[in-house]
Structure 1
Amino acid sequence: MASAILLQQPPCFICRVVRDVSLPPSSARLSDFLDGRSFSSAPDSSAGSRSRSALLHRLLTGPALSPPLRPTLGIQLAPPTVGALAYISVTQGPADTLVHAMIGYGLLQALILLRLLPWITKEPFSLAYWAFTFGATALATAPMRLIERGDTGPVVQLAPILFIAANIVVVLVAAATIWLIVSRKLVIGWMDLPHRDAGAVGQG
């Protein structure tokens, strides 16, 4: 039943998954109990993985996303990158294979989104494009946090590139948003979404 519900959700639903994965260990970080933080991250990461599998299945087998929803695919970059930051916050010492794998998976997601960008940008700019900024900033921050811990691997070369790329993404999205506000074209039309060609989201 739960899987069937997940399959009907748009990609932006994964925002809740990101929150569930990152919030417990990040919040526990404030209490400065390393063991408690480590234990709290495990079940939430497991739940995030299961939800993500269902969402990816929906993207691969369900109807194609309508143009207004395509920019929300940018949130797919967030789970591995925000998860990497949460993992860094609950561990100490040099980086291990797991956090490198999470950053690498985030890079893979970024390349996939870059490949899909011509298809995604068929929809004029809207607030949905802010979905890209969450994961982009996390992907840029994680390598810098590892360098602070003395990591001398590929992250040293990746960090400045990712930092510049994340800043470009945020500046472009912010500038486009300001332009919409100035030109009085900023419209929040999600209430009308079910009446449009919204793919699986707008059905039933």
Structure 2
Amino acid sequence: MASSITSGLQWPELAFAAFAVGVVYTFAIGAVVIGGLVTGPDLPLPARPALTILIIPPATGGLAWLAAHRGAVAAVGYGFAGLLAFTTLIVVCLLPYLRQPSFHMGFWIFALPIAAGSNFAIRWFHGADAPAWRPLTWVVRGAATLSFVALGTATLFHAFRRSRRQGPLSPLRSRPCARRRGSSRRPGSPWWPGPG
């Protein structure tokens, strides 16, 4: 992301420096993460959707490369496209493992790979002059938009169900200083409950 921003600001030296830092740390941290997944215990069920972040490094790296080269794809751009396709295939194969019993706010982790992957795919279609790149662009844009609409709708439905399940607060629950057993409040206090 820093490389893309500095490319837009016409600072090519900083853009390439940020790109190099991103590549090195992506390989280093990616090796640790993948090694932990292979050799470590299973992730907790609510944390499994986070595995979709595997899509983000090739997508953001490809965006940075395209920004630094004025949208020209070239060999490195094709390499990032291949990495993105490969990691997306991995995530698709992991979908049964990522399945959750119900919706929760952790599902918003899907927004990051969807945004980065669709952004890079659209720019790559245009830069590579892919056949029928305009229809492909609209397909990717429509799929990303529907995904965000589905996330937003599910979030609103989830919030509505939680509010219905909890119900309105009773007068006793809504009192901030209700007397507890063993309280030292004296009679005559406005919160003294009185006899009985």
Q: Taking structure 1 as the reference length, what is the TM-score of the superposition?
A: 0.69
Which residue number corresponds to residue 126 of structure 1?
104
For 2:8 and 2:65, how far apart are their aligned partners in 1? 14
Is the Cα–Cα contact under 8 Å of residues 19 and 61 in structure 2 kept in the other structure?
no
| Alignment of 1:52 onto 2:25 | no
Shift of 1:147: 4.2
For 1:93 and 1:167, how far apart are their aligned partners in 2? 23
Q: Percent identity?
A: 23
For 2:111 and 2:54, how far apart are their aligned partners in 1? 11
Which residue number corresponds to residue 63 of structure 2?
85
Of 79-88 and 162-171, deviating more is 162-171
Letter in 2 for 1:152: D
| Alignment of 1:28 onto 2:1 | no
Shift of 1:115: 2.1
Aligned length: 162
Match of 1:166 among 141, 144, 147: 144
Please list the CA deviations of residues 133-153 of structure 1 after superposition, one character each: whole Å capped at 9, or x if unmatched.
Answer: 21112211113223444x223
- Computing the radius of gyration from Cα coordinates, the structure with the larger value is 2
For 1:51 and 1:155, how far apart are their aligned partners in 2? 37
- Contiguous gaps of at least 5 residues in structure 2: 164-196
| SS of 2:94 mapped into structure 1 | helix
Shift of 1:30: 4.5
Shift of 1:92: 2.3
Is the Cα–Cα contact under 8 Å of residues 74 and 129 in structure 1 kept in the other structure?
no
Is the Cα–Cα contact under 8 Å of residues 45 and 100 in structure 2 kept in the other structure?
yes
Task: Give RMSD over aligned pairs.
Answer: 2.3
Which residue number corresponds to residue 137 of structure 1?
115
- Contiguous gaps of at least 5 residues in structure 1: 1-21, 186-204
Which residue number corresponds to residue 87 of structure 2?
109
Please list the CA deviations of residues 137-188 of structure 1 after superposition, one character each: whole Å capped at 9, or x if unmatched.
Answer: 2211113223444x22368375444333322322222211111122226xxx
For 1:179 and 1:55, how far apart are their aligned partners in 2? 33
Which residue number corresponds to residue 188 of structure 1?
none
Which residue number corresponds to residue 152 of structure 1?
129
Letter in 2 for 1:94: A
When residues 158 and 107 of structure 1 are mapped into structure 2, their CA distance, relative to the original with a 3 A threshold, is farther
Question: How does 1:59-98 map onto structure 2 within 5 Å?
Answer: 59-92=37-70, 94-98=72-76
